[in-house]
Amino acid sequence: MGLGRAKKLFIALAMTTIAVVICMAAIEVWVRWRWDDTQGQPGFFLTDARRGQRLSPGYQGWFAGVPVRINSLGFRDRQEYSLEKPKNTFRILVLGDSVTFGHGTLDDTTYPYLLDQQLKKWRPDVAWEVWNLGVPGYNTGQELAYLEQIGPQSDPDLVIVGFYPNDFSGDNAPARRGRFARAAAPLLRLAQRHLYSFEFYKRVLLTARFKLLTSKEDQLRLEHLASEEQLLQASGGEGEAVQRLTPLDRLDAPDLESFACPGRGQPGGPTSSLAQQLRARDPEYGSWFDAVDRLQAMHQRGEYKIVFFINMAPEVCDVADRFVDGGRLADDDALLEVLGRGTPAVSSTRAFFHYRPSQMPAAGGHAIGNSNLVKAETLAAFLEEKILPPLLPPKS
């Protein structure tokens, strides 16, 4: 190639690069100009080479219709903490998914926050720190990876692993990403946090791939992207009335767990296939069992003190203001059996029978308000009776 052709090629590449940069800058300006302030900042989720995604440190915006703030350590809390644990502090890490994070829940009614308040009432002489490490979309394998990353740095005195039935979903096996993916992750995070147009490019790329390849996977990614954008809008959350804690009617009838919902037949329903699968260690849940085994091994080695918390609720009778079994207790018993092998485990399921569903908003899903209070009280009572006394100094 002659010098003239090389020079022309160099000039063409330079001009193309300049044109691309100008075009990208124009798109960024356009996206920022059209940006809806109710969306908060861009970059709620950031790429993580091992966990798939993490929360963005310092994020302030909205998630599922409520304002959220992610502190500088990358978890939901309006308070800042030092990674190094202060002296005379009892630090609890609460791992989990969107139920733990508080999908649609105000900061002061997530169950980790309410657990912190319960413990402070019980032992006000202790300097408690309860970290809400819940991340929407996580499964047990990702929670394990999170603990392996943050545990050695934060030195927790207790680790609570929240469980919800969708934790079986996805691949619970440890991520094995190549060198390129690991190297690219910091650059992707930088773009996700600071480029308002990042999601625009992502949508364009996925749409183009779907149109060209008609990939079902790309279609699902586009649907997920649309639902994620909706979650980050200020509107769409529950009203403040159901968010707030209110006085509760406690039920202590002798038929709480055996109550038959009119028109539903016998309580309990058919034998649970999930309970059978769990007790048989069904290969369908193989990667989940592996993640649980690794967490239990950590506890048994004394690496961390771990407690599993099953934050489920019974079914709701549609013609009476009562909770009913509906087969949930069989699943609950099987989960307690599996998660409780050598590791403490507690469930909130039976606690809900003492209350009316009308006072327990979204108890069986993304719990809010009083529903989270019942979870926090159940968990606190278990910790105060079974776990914490030998770990704490005598009352001063």
Least Cα distance to 136 among 105, 158, 115 occurs for 105
Q: pTM value?
A: 0.82
Beta carbons of 156 and 92 less than 8 angstroms apart:
yes
| Pick from 29-33, 53-57, 368-372: least confident | 29-33
Beta carbons of 258 and 264 less than 8 angstroms apart:
no
Whether the pLDDT of residue 223 is over 60: the answer is no
Beta carbons of 351 and 89 less than 8 angstroms apart:
no
Find the length of the chain. Answer: 396
| Pick from 4-13, 319-328, 341-350: least confident | 4-13
Whether the pLDDT of residue 367 is over 70: the answer is yes
Burial of 235 (0-12, 13-18, 19+ CB in 10 A): exposed
Least Cα distance to 339 among 283, 272, 289 occurs for 289
**Going from the N-terminus, what domains does the chain have, and what CATH number goes with each?**
79-172+250-390 (3.40.50.1110)
Confidence grade of residue 52 (pLDDT, cut at 50, 70, 90)? confident
Q: How many angstroms separate the CA atoms of 130 and 96, rounded?
A: 13
Confidence grade of residue 14 (pLDDT, cut at 50, 70, 90)? confident
| Pick from 51-55, 75-79, 99-103: least confident | 51-55
Beta carbons of 101 and 143 less than 8 angstroms apart:
no
| Pick from 5-19, 62-76, 82-96, 251-265: least confident | 5-19
Least Cα distance to 261 among 253, 249, 269 occurs for 269
Q: pLDDT tens-digit profile of 165-212?
A: 889 877 766 655 556 556 666 666 665 565 665 565 555 554 554 455
Can you give the pLDDT at residue 217?
A: 53
Confidence grade of residue 3 (pLDDT, cut at 50, 70, 90)? low
Can you give the pLDDT at residue 210?
A: 46
Q: How many angstroms separate the CA atoms of 360 and 248, rounded?
A: 9
Whether the pLDDT of residue 49 is over 90: the answer is no
Residue range 71-83: average pLDDT? 96
Whether the pLDDT of residue 19 is over 70: the answer is yes
